[in-house]
């Protein structure tokens, strides 16, 4: 019975040529298949037909559930209003769906909004920082082709010109910049990095999707801690060979930096797509499966 | 009453922001309120409303939060600071535009 009903629906839908009448004909279709629908359950109510047709226009699958939920709530509100006016259950639902307007047009409009965003601003920022880091590394390597050892002791023994021989290593780049290019350069560079991190935090906090917010904030926090430790290390307040995001050229450091940046870019990209909270229905289903 | 859609779409965003300036609302509430305020001139369809609201959210003019009212979880929209600023700009624009239209129309009064 159910199968038959479905076949019928698809056949009818194919037959429908014009776009603007699809919602209306979906309603008519439901009237003619009255009894079958009741047997098939709520699955093929005209609300569902409308929502499915609308959501089919939105290419990004992840946005579907949030849009559906919001519109379903709207239809229900409208239906209740009609019920209060004295309509019958079925009639009220059909009228409520008709009131929604054209499903395809609305779907296309929503598709335009819920598209993954290309975050060129962020990509540009990351690219600029990376280029600065790269150019700086090239300069350092030219200056000190061979890296000397035991840098820390040399640094502590006094900041003579010779003692920067070790600075091919990544831990004291900021000290190196201060000595060779002046304190202003070092401060400017730090300001730039701090600016990037503040931006990352702001973007993360503005995420309405909770998972996105947590992941974004987490990544930004890692960057923040790294910078603070690096600064303290370069000021001689703590020990330890650390790396600075963007500036250092160490294998692990660079890997971690760009993995985190990748996660953050992805969080930005999907900010218009994901719902505020994961829909309860989906969670329920997953639990059942487990 | 039928009104040209193109005339409506540009200013509907402004009207929605105006409604949200007074209080936070959900979609259905906005349509009802708009109909009431405009004395049935603006019968906004939900199919037009939600794409518009989502666009406004994308621009950062409104924010969304979920709230449970009498057993139903609803998506409430609230205006942001950027939204308020955009609204006052739009109001100015609209004023200039409508005054210009009125002026032009009244000039041709002899016809």
Q: For residue B64, which residues of chain A lie inside 8 Å, CB to CB?
A: 208, 276
Q: Closest approach of chain B CAs to the CA of A247, in angstroms?
A: 33
Least reliable range by pLDDT among A6-10, A187-191, A234-238, B104-108: A6-10
The terminus-to-terminus CA distance of chain A in angstroms comes to 31
Which one of B50, B58, B66 has the shortest CB-CB distance to A277? B66
Helix (H) or strand (E) segment spanning residue A82 = helix A64-84
Which one of B50, B57, B64 has the shortest CB-CB distance to A71? B50
Segments in chain B forming alpha helices (H) = 5-22, 27-37, 46-59, 81-107
Q: Tokens 């209080």 map to which residue?
A: B23
Closest alpha carbon to B78 in B20, B35, B1: B20
Burial class (CB in 10 A: 0-12, 13-18, 19+), A221: middle
Q: Residue B26 pairs with which residues in a beta bridge? A: none
pLDDT tens figures, A215-238: 889 998 988 888 888 888 887 777
Task: Tell whether the model's pLDDT for residue A133 goes beyond 70.
Answer: yes
Q: Does B12 touch chain A (CB under 8 A)?
A: no
Q: Closest approach of chain A CAs to the CA of B27, in angstroms?
A: 7
- Among A118-127, A185-194, A259-268, B17-26, top mean pLDDT goes to B17-26
Is this structure's pTM higher than 0.80?
no
Q: For residue B40, which residues of chain A lie inside 8 Å, CB to CB?
A: none
Task: Tell whether the model's pLDDT for residue B45 goes beyond 80.
Answer: yes
User: What is the structure's pLDDT at A274?
Assistant: 61
User: What is the structure's pLDDT at B9?
Assistant: 57
Closest alpha carbon to A100 in A48, A42, A30, A34: A48
Q: Do B51 and A70 touch (CB under 8 A)?
A: no
Q: Residue B81 pairs with which residues in a beta bridge? A: none
d(CA B50, CA A194): 38
Residue A140: alpha-carbon gap to chain centroid: 36
Task: Tell whether the model's pLDDT for residue B77 goes beyond 90.
Answer: yes
**CB pairs A-B closer than 8 Å:** 64
A44 with A8: CB under 8 angstroms?
no
User: What is the structure's pLDDT at A27?
Assistant: 47
Q: Do B75 and A73 touch (CB under 8 A)?
A: yes
Mean pLDDT along residues A192-198: 85
Q: Do B47 and A78 touch (CB under 8 A)?
A: no
Q: Do B51 and A106 touch (CB under 8 A)?
A: yes
User: What is the structure's pLDDT at B20?
Assistant: 93
pLDDT-derived band of residue A132, with 50, 70 and 90 as boundaries? confident
Q: Do A70 and B75 touch (CB under 8 A)?
A: yes
User: What is the structure's pLDDT at A20?
Assistant: 42
A101 with B47: CB under 8 angstroms?
yes
The terminus-to-terminus CA distance of chain B in angstroms comes to 26
Mean pLDDT along residues A111-129: 83
Task: Tell whether the model's pLDDT for residue A107 goes beyond 60.
Answer: yes
Average per-residue pLDDT for chain A: 72
d(CA B28, CA A99): 11
B68: three-class secondary structure by DSSP = strand
Helix (H) or strand (E) segment spanning residue B69 = strand B62-69
A277 with B66: CB under 8 angstroms?
yes
User: What is the structure's pLDDT at B79?
Assistant: 93
Q: Tokens 């450091």 map to which residue?
A: A253
Q: How much is the ipTM here?
A: 0.79
d(CA B21, CA B91): 13
Least reliable range by pLDDT among A1-10, A197-206, A207-216, B94-103: A1-10
């Amino acid at each position: 019975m159910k199968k038959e009903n479905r076949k019928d629906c698809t056949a009818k839908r194919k037959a429908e040529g014009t776009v603007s009448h699809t919602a209306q004909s979906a309603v008519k279709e439901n009237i003619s298949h009255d009894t079958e629908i009741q047997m098939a359950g709520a699955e093929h109510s005209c609300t569902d037909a409308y929502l499915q047709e609308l959501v089919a226009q939105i290419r990004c699958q992840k946005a579907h559930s949030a849009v559906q939920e919001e519109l379903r709530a709207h239809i229900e509100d409208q239906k209740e209003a009609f019920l209060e006016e004295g309509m019958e259950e079925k009639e009220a639902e059909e009228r409520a769906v008709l009131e929604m307007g054209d499903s395809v047009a609305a779907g296309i409009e929503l598709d335009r909004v819920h598209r993954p965003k290309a975050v060129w601003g962020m990509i540009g920022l990351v690219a600029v920082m990376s280029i600065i880091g790269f150019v700086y590394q090239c300069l350092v390597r030219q200056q000190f082709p061979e890296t000397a050892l035991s840098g820390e002791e040399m640094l502590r023994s006094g900041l003579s010109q010779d003692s920067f021989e070790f600075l091919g290593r990544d831990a004291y780049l900021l000290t190196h910049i201060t000595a060779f290019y002046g304190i202003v350069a070092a401060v400017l560079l730090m300001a730039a990095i701090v600016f990037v991190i503040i931006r990352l935090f702001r973007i993360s906090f503005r995420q309405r999707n909770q998972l996105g917010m947590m992941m974004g904030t987490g990544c930004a926090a890692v960057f923040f801690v790294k910078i603070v430790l690096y600064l303290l290390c370069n000021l001689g307040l703590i020990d330890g060979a650390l790396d600075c995001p963007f500036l250092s050229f160490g294998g692990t450091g660079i890997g971690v930096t760009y993995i985190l940046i990748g996660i953050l870019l992805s969080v930005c990209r999907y900010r218009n797509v994901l719902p505020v909270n994961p829909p309860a229905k989906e969670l329920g289903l997953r639990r059942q499966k487990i | 009453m039928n009104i040209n859609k193109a005339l409506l779409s540009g200013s509907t965003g402004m009207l929605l922001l105006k409604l949200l300036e007074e209080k936070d609302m959900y979609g259905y509430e906005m349509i009802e309120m708009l109909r009431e305020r405009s004395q049935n001139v603006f019968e906004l369809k939900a199919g037009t409303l939600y794409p518009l609201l989502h666009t406004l959210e994308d621009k950062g003019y409104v924010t969304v939060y979920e709230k449970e009212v009498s057993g139903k979880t609803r998506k409430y929209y609230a205006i942001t600071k950027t939204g308020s600023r955009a609204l006052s700009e739009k109001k100015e624009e609209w004023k200039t535009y409508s005054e210009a239209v009125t002026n032009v129309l009244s000039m041709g009064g002899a016809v």
